[in-house]
Structure 1
Amino acid sequence: MAKYFEARIAKLQRLLEKLELDGMIVYQGANTKYLTGFDGGTGEGVVVVSRTQACLITDARYEEDYRHRLPENVDFKVTRAYYEAAVETVIAFGIKQLAFEATLPYNVYDLMDQLLPADITFDALPDAVETLREVKDTVELEALRLAAKASVQAFNDLLQFIKVGMTEKQVANELDRLQKHYGAEKASFDTIVASGYRSALPHGEATDKIIELGDLVTIDFGYYVNGYTSDVTRTIAMGTISDELREVYAVVKQANENAIDIVKPGISGSEIDSVAREYITNHGFGEFYNHSTGHGVGLDIHEGPALSSRSSDEMQSGHLLTIEPGIYLPGKGGVRIEDDVIVTSDGYENLTEGITKSLVIIEG
């Protein structure tokens, strides 16, 4: 793994040189993990990167675990005084123009600003590491494939479990058990199980509501494997549903497939969004499609690139996208179908095609 961290740090160093910056302090947990493998979380350590050097600063709790896992060209400092040590490192590295993440808490910024010598500038550089994280390397793509595989296996097993009369929470808890059975580490967000009229809620977390005959049930979940998460949604029917909801399902399914079919390097996020949105609008449901078509996934559940009507993000080989159009009819129900798709050099690879998108009907 060390060579991958070296390559990621080198990408940041090239960016710093391009922007005529001498260095950057990295605080946010997913970013420190991306650069060094350090997984203590946000606020448990910092990484200082110059154009030629890098240093991880954390405390003794993590020393044994990380000292021997870092690349040879990354220094390691053990202290609870993270920011004092960071300033010492900045000075030792000869950094004069220092950048920080825009998400750095004000109290940390204020402390650093007081500690830094007057001849060192200290300015925000929004989304620098986050943008680098958008294009995944081979290790990341393999982890994402494993996360998707666990989700496919777990959901297909869940279809044999779910029955009328269960609560949404019972379904969510069983999915959690199945995911871990297939190797997942933890959920990346509270699993959504929204049944009946609640399926019209895009983010309807599981409740004690009983699943009834005639309900649509939308299940949206994401689980980590090797530190990278899946993000999958399917909607199923409990027995017979209305003709209107059947039409909604068919429209969402086709919108999802149309959007996936155009994924390739060079296409923009707004173009992908437009294909799904126009299909839904042309079938009379445009006002009920009230979110973007997708986003990137990786160390975090929501990353770039964005797939929205205003997105100019250009797809690149190595991006991992969700494609998740939906229609939500208040008081009646809703449908969302979401797949995880890798942008390849000549198109795409759908990681979640192992879950059927034909309408699954659970009888009784």
Structure 2
Amino acid sequence: MFYHTWPKEEIDRRLENCRSKMKAAGLFGMVITDENNVTYFTGFRTHAPWTTYTRTAWYFLPVKEKPVLLLQNMMAPDAMLRTQNCEIQSYPGLYGTDLETVKNIMDSHGMGEGNIGWELGYEQRLGIPYLEYESLRGMMDKCQFVDGSDILWSLRLVKSDIEIDCIKKACDATSFALDKVFNTMHEGMKETQIVKYFFSYMMEADADKPGFALIASEKGHYDRISNIGSDRRIKKGDLVWVDGGALYNGYWADFGRSGIVGPVDQERQEYQACVHDVTMKAIKTIKPGIAASDLAGACIDALAEYGFDPSSFDCGRLGHGMGIMSTEPPSITQQDETVLREGMIINIEPGFVKENGVFNIEENVVVTKDGAKILSGAKRTLYEIKC
């Protein structure tokens, strides 16, 4: 029976690339405790990521020795079937990890001295209690704990063919769910009902699980672009904007579409056409070698041609990366100088909010050798929702 998440060749590639970068940076190894990074290097996923901090995971990645995944006893048997190219060890208790065990693993795997990388920087998190981190740092008096975030992001930013295929399948499931949920909607449905149907259609389309959903549907509240749903019932004349994404084999999709309850009026149809044109103009500028800031500038310039203020759709940026997290670096802002490379996933989402609706057609694209390929689907014009 097949239990692995990704083929061994994919895991080996990630380890080899990380070790090469560690050597170049003068690191003796890395200690990985963030759940997403543990998954990236091992393929092991828990049943409910980021919903419990009871059983912490440690992944020790030395420059030369075989990596070690240290888990609480409950998770070790499953990890033995799902992980590749690492040794599984376990610990018994629920009240923290025995740090002597951690120290012994580090000492015996060439990580007892020198610079050791940790998840300390931008958009990274420690998956262990900070007090444990500080205690271990005091115990490892021959080590210097340093930030390894640049190495981690340099690996995760550029996706392999396998990763891109997973993201495409997540996008396909999301596209199917968006098309079907807008065709299922009708006047009088609650926002929460719409979200439930959206999630169920993701599963119907072979997603591993629903990821997330946002919804805006009420005049005077269209700036609530982080609303997860309420008991409000949609009514005739409402614009309903739904944004979300499915998960497939650990990888995300993230995009949204919109519809009108009843006939689609000309003004909002034109607004929708404008934001689609803005989005496509920005996508046409995507290619290896341009900076994220250049892409942000292209979005802003295209919006300005129509006289729209990008700050009205205020999520702090005009797009972002995506992978085993629904948002990852880079951020598409005029401050981010990350250079785009072939294989990066960019979610591009210029938009604007008016009194009568949210106008945003997010697209998930992969940077190709000479441009960009759109992975997201579903209808870009406004759906007509049944009264």
TM-score under structure 2 length normalisation: 0.87
- Name the counterpart of 1:94: 110
Query: 1:89 is aligned with what amino acid?
Result: I
Query: 1:362 is aligned with what amino acid?
Result: I
Give the gaps of 5 or more residues in structure 1.
Answer: none
Output the aligned Cα RMSD. 2.0
Query: 1:301 is aligned with what amino acid?
Result: S
The answer to whether 1:36 aligns with 2:42 is yes
The answer to whether 1:348 aligns with 2:365 is no
Query: 2:217 is aligned with what amino acid?
Result: S
Instruction: Please list the CA deviations of residues 170-215 of structure 1 after superposition, one character each: whole Å capped at 9, or x if unmatched.
Output: 11111111111111232333x1121032333221221111111111
Q: 1:84 to 1:182 in 2, by over 3 A?
A: farther
Given that 2:244 and 2:254 are in contact with CA atoms closer than 8 Å, whether structure 1 keeps it comes out as: yes
Instruction: Please list the CA deviations of residues 302-322 of structure 1 after superposition, one character each: whole Å capped at 9, or x if unmatched.
Output: 112221121111111111111
User: In 1, distance between residues paired with 2:33 and 2:78?
Assistant: 19
The equivalent position to 1:325 in structure 2, one of 350, 357, 360, is 350
Query: 2:119 is aligned with what amino acid?
Result: E
The answer to whether 1:300 aligns with 2:309 is no
- Name the counterpart of 2:134: 110
User: In 1, distance between residues paired with 2:271 and 2:338?
Assistant: 29
Query: 2:183 is aligned with what amino acid?
Result: Q
The equivalences for 1:123-138 within 5 A come to 123-138=146-161
Given that 1:47 and 1:55 are in contact with CA atoms closer than 8 Å, whether structure 2 keeps it comes out as: yes
Given that 1:293 and 1:307 are in contact with CA atoms closer than 8 Å, whether structure 2 keeps it comes out as: yes
Query: 2:260 is aligned with what amino acid?
Result: A
- Name the counterpart of 1:51: 63
Return 241-250 or 179-188, whichever deviates more.
241-250
User: In 1, distance between residues paired with 2:80 and 2:385?
Assistant: 52
TM superposition outliers: structure 1 runs of 4+ over 4 Å:
240-244
Give the gaps of 5 or more residues in structure 2.
Answer: 1-6
Query: 1:228 is aligned with what amino acid?
Result: Y
- Name the counterpart of 2:306: 283
Query: 1:109 is aligned with what amino acid?
Result: Y
The answer to whether 1:75 aligns with 2:87 is yes
Q: 1:246 to 1:157 in 2, by over 3 A?
A: closer
Q: 1:328 to 1:307 in 2, by over 3 A?
A: same
Query: 2:367 is aligned with what amino acid?
Result: V
User: In 2, distance between residues paired with 1:335 and 1:39?
Assistant: 36
Query: 1:111 is aligned with what amino acid?
Result: S
The equivalent position to 1:316 in structure 2, one of 341, 345, 349, is 341
User: In 2, distance between residues paired with 1:82 and 1:276?
Assistant: 51
Query: 2:246 is aligned with what amino acid?
Result: Y
Query: 1:60 is aligned with what amino acid?
Result: N
User: In 2, distance between residues paired with 1:338 and 1:223?
Assistant: 15
SS of the residue aligned with 2:340?
Answer: coil
The answer to whether 1:166 aligns with 2:172 is no
User: In 1, distance between residues paired with 2:233 and 2:357?
Assistant: 15
User: In 2, distance between residues paired with 1:242 and 1:181?
Assistant: 32
User: In 1, distance between residues paired with 2:286 and 2:145?
Assistant: 39
User: In 2, distance between residues paired with 1:84 and 1:249?
Assistant: 60
Q: Report the CA distance between 1:346 and its aligned residue.
A: 2.1
Given that 1:201 and 1:328 are in contact with CA atoms closer than 8 Å, whether structure 2 keeps it comes out as: no
Q: 1:157 to 1:84 in 2, by over 3 A?
A: same
User: In 1, distance between residues paired with 2:370 and 2:227?
Assistant: 36
Given that 2:185 and 2:386 are in contact with CA atoms closer than 8 Å, whether structure 1 keeps it comes out as: no
The answer to whether 1:234 aligns with 2:257 is yes
- Name the counterpart of 2:3: none
Instruction: Please list the CA deviations of residues 73-104 of structure 1 after superposition, one character each: whole Å capped at 9, or x if unmatched.
Output: x2222224364333212111222221211122
Given that 1:46 and 1:82 are in contact with CA atoms closer than 8 Å, whether structure 2 keeps it comes out as: no
User: In 2, distance between residues paired with 1:63 and 1:299?
Assistant: 22
TM-score under structure 1 length normalisation: 0.92
Q: Report the CA distance between 1:167 and its aligned residue.
A: 1.4
Q: 1:244 to 1:157 in 2, by over 3 A?
A: closer
SS of the residue aligned with 1:143?
Answer: helix
- Name the counterpart of 2:174: 151
Query: 2:102 is aligned with what amino acid?
Result: A
User: In 1, distance between residues paired with 2:8 and 2:142?
Assistant: 34
User: In 2, distance between residues paired with 1:75 and 1:172?
Assistant: 41
Given that 2:317 and 2:333 are in contact with CA atoms closer than 8 Å, whether structure 1 keeps it comes out as: yes
User: In 1, distance between residues paired with 2:209 and 2:142?
Assistant: 45
Q: Report the CA distance between 1:119 and its aligned residue.
A: 1.6
Q: What is the number of equivalent residue pairs in this alignment?
A: 359
